[in-house]
Copies of this chain bind each other. A is one copy, B any other.
Amino acid sequence: MAELQRYKAVISYDGSAFSGFQIQPNGRTIQAELEKALAKMHKSEIVKIVGSGRTDAGVHAKGQVIHFDSPLQISVEQWKKGLNALLSDDLVIMDIEKISSDFHARFDASHKTYKYRVYTQKTRDPFRHHFATHYPFSLDLDQVKLAANHLVGTYDFTSFCSAKAEVLNKVRTVSEIKVENKGDEVIFTITGNGFLHNMVRIIVGTLLEVGSGKRKASDMLGILQGRDRQLAGKTAPPQGLYLWQVEYNG
């Protein structure tokens, strides 16, 4: 058996028709589709992949990162071409490279960036129903930005985490929240060293409530301090969310 080489790949997917990233008994998932394609390239042998983290059903990725090991001696161009020919139209390998065997897609990730797309026009757009969230209210972006600034820093984000989450340490560092108008959309760009389950969607849901006047920007402090999911706003729907970029040290 040839020596194993570790590969790092950047993948992109339209999450609309997936039941999320992680393999599960029923439902089509990113991990299962990738491992199915890899098995085809390895004479049906199982090759496991490791992602930088999960994404939920309906959530997209522009730059998710995975790693896997393989004994196949083919070029990275052949990997990309071969895998993309086996994958369906909504999942693609953007980039693949050889990497040291101590690289780990999840443990070594130093920063992640998510984007969230919202459009506010009155009439919903049938071409964006899977790709952006329709929020037909006028938004006070200055207030949204003020509120967002309260969330930048190192805090216990329990209030912005799905109550089902089992992780114990809920302290995370959010290094930047950008809120910008682009065409008829409001784009949220959130970068941090790690995110709790539903954290970006709860942050966006809460910020939208500030923008439409249901909450005040200064409420953010109390929400953080209360450490109670009930205090924050609704979880924004999955279709507006994109895992945009995963960064690694070095």
Contacts and interface: CB of A to CB of B under 8 A. Distances in A.
A14 interface: yes
Copies in the complex: 2
A91 B126 contact: yes
Interface residues of A, number: 18
Given A89-B129, A90-B129, A129-B89, A124 B14 contact: no
A193 B123 CA distance: 30
B60 A127 contact: yes
Nearest to A131: B127
A92 B14 contact: no
Interface in A94-127: 94, 123-127
A12 interface: yes
Contact of A126 (B90, B123, B124, B125): B90
A31 to B, nearest CB: 16
Contacts of A94: 123
A195 interface: no
B126 A89 contact: yes
A13 interface: yes
Given A14-B127, A94-B123, 10 more contacts: A14-B126, A84-B124, A89-B124, A89-B126, A89-B129, A90-B126, A92-B123, A92-B124, A92-B125, A127-B131
